[in-house]
Amino acid sequence: LRQGGLRALLAPWDPPSVHPHDRAAERACTPPSTGSSPPPLDWTRLGSRTISSGAGMSLTQYGLTNHTLTSQRRSYWTLCPQHSSFGPPAEIATKEAQHSVDDSFGVQQRTFGSAAEPIQRNPDYSVLNSDDVSYFKSILGDNGVVQDKDRVAVANVDWMGKYKGASQLLLLPKSTNEVSKVLAYCDSRRLAVVPQGGNTGLVGGSVPVHDEVIVNLGGMDKIISFDNVNGILTCEAGCVLENLSTFVENEGFIMPLDLGAKGSCQIGGNISTNAGGLRFIRYGSLHGNVLGLEVVLANGTVLDMLTTLRKDNTGYDLKHLFVVKAP
């Protein structure tokens, strides 16, 4: 609409056809020429105004607005009072606008964003050293601790390439117990940690800000069980969404979640961000499709809420604290 209005206002102007009866009314309403410019029009006292263009577009606005509609041509303005108490009969004015094209269609715009500001590293967090790396290798093995610059660089950048961290260590645990040990140690050493799944998010939530330790759950990709009577799937957080969809489709079921990034996103990240997806309207959000979770807290404590009971009234439903809305 904005572009259409702009094109209409900038189009070559053709004088509108006026009925002879209207010409007589115009001559009757036109004040005699006195050699001086007429007094300014009182727009507040008029009920409406109509701006006609050569493209045949007519805009009627009531009262005052914040929009400015001018052009580089001669405009034909017709002022029609709604009631006789507003003043004299209709007035007809012709005005030559000398504004630039940039000012010809001024509309208030909103910009949703903020200027990027540098984030200072919290000095309360420790700096990674060789002893930390040796401890992680004792838990995860050499293959579970990645220090190769090329592999770590991929995990330091988001999918859109807008955010970049400076982490020097990528950990690949393969079980809940290993994740618990890693987080317990990082908590005792005050090492900053960022969990990461398929790294397909668009808001940089899985990218380190500074030199955090990246804990990627891609190695936890096992399907634990599937109940084909109740349609309940139990799997690990690192399972790729497309693999889960293929698995349940072979069983005659369908995943309630479908995303464009299903070939690389992981179910743990989907749940942690309460991803909506293409089937949201029909099957609802993940809040309603997740029956249970097993989570590892920041201090390494394992919170077991992995239940298949559809209605559990035995206390608080704590799993919803970990199924959150993405920022």
Please report, for the chain, the start and end positions of each structural domain, with discontinuous segments joined by +: 4-13+220-321, 130-216
User: Kind and range of the H or E element at 149?
Assistant: helix 149-155
Please say if the pLDDT value at position 252 is more than 60: yes
Which CATH code is given to the segment(s) 130-216? 3.30.43.10
> Please, are residues 171 and 182 in contact by the beta-carbon 8 Å criterion?
yes
The residues pairing with 213 across neighbouring beta strands, listed in sequence order, are: 193
Closest to 80 in 3D by CA, of 91, 69, 70 = 91
The secondary structure of residue 61, as a DSSP letter, is E
This prediction's pTM: 0.64
Closest to 171 in 3D by CA, of 109, 237, 218 = 218
Please say if the pLDDT value at position 168 is more than 80: yes
Q: Which residue spans within 161-299 are E strands per DSSP? A: 170-171, 193-196, 213-216, 223-227, 232-235, 293-296
- How much of the chain exceeds pLDDT 90, in percent? 50
> Please, are residues 80 and 50 in contact by the beta-carbon 8 Å criterion?
yes
What's the pLDDT band for 119 if we cut at 50, 70, 90? confident
The secondary structure of residue 146, as a DSSP letter, is E
SS3 196: strand
Write the pLDDT tens digit of every residue in 132-150. Answer: 999 999 999 999 999 999 9
What's the pLDDT band for 5 if we cut at 50, 70, 90? low
SS3 21: helix
Pairing verdict, β 302-305 and 293-296: antiparallel
What is residue 92's predicted lDDT score, i.e. its pLDDT?
Answer: 42
> Please, are residues 307 and 291 in contact by the beta-carbon 8 Å criterion?
yes
Q: Which two tokens stand for residue 172?
A: 């690949």
SS3 234: strand
User: Kind and range of the H or E element at 276?
Assistant: none
How far is the C-alpha of 255 from the C-alpha of 33, rounded, in Å? 79
Q: Which two tokens stand for residue 67?
A: 């929009």
Q: What is the mean pLDDT of the chain?
A: 76
Please say if the pLDDT value at position 315 is more than 70: yes
How far is the C-alpha of 62 from the C-alpha of 66, rounded, in Å? 12
Distances (CA, A) of 28 to 18, 33, 50, 86, 152: 15, 13, 20, 19, 82
Which CATH code is given to the segment(s) 4-13+220-321? 3.30.465.10
Average of per-residue pLDDT across 32-38: 52
Write the pLDDT tens digit of every residue in 81-99. Answer: 444 444 444 444 444 444 4
